[in-house]
Amino acid sequence: MAQSSSTNAPQQVHANLNQLMRGVLYPAANVVFSAQADNPGEIKFVPGHDPNMSTDPLTSSFGGWNAVENAALALAESANLMSISERKCSNGVPVPMTNPDWPKLVQGLRDAGKAAYAAAQAKNQDKVLDAADVMTTACANCHDKYREKPTPADRC
């Protein structure tokens, strides 16, 4: 009989918060923001272009509204990644998870992702506009407190 792997494997951190933002949150947010102006249901695939090789999520094999759903879920799930205790800021200090506002700010990201997901499921651009407002507010609340600092050493 084969041994089963542990389901309680410890979480591992491979990226600092800035890398997580640039690698996951920024691209996912851009997909949702793009859906404000360009209806994902009307995106046309380019003849001769292989959607399996597309670097644009909206024109990939899982493009259109499906890409917006996936991006929204990536944002909501990223709230979990931002809550892993070993994560560091780009300046090497721990992410401020012990600050009383951190869980609220992370929850704002989760809520924004869920709102964007609901809008994408409804295939409704007006709802995407509303969800993008929720996202913009959630991002700004955290960035204003932790990113917009004059000295890079003070940023997270």
Return per-residue pLDDT of the chain as tens, 156 residues.
455 555 777 889 999 999 999 999 999 999 999 999 988 888 777 777 788 877 788 777 888 999 999 999 999 999 999 999 899 999 999 999 999 999 999 999 999 999 999 999 999 999 999 999 999 999 999 999 999 888 878 888
**Four-CA torsion 28, 34, 40, 42, nearest 10 degrees:** -150
pLDDT at 99: 93
| CB 67, CB 111: distance < 8 Å | no
**Local structure of 82: helix, strand or coil:** coil
| CB 97, CB 85: distance < 8 Å | yes
How far apart (Å, rounded) are the C-alpha atoms in residues 150 and 154?
A: 8
**Local structure of 94: helix, strand or coil:** strand
pLDDT at 141: 96
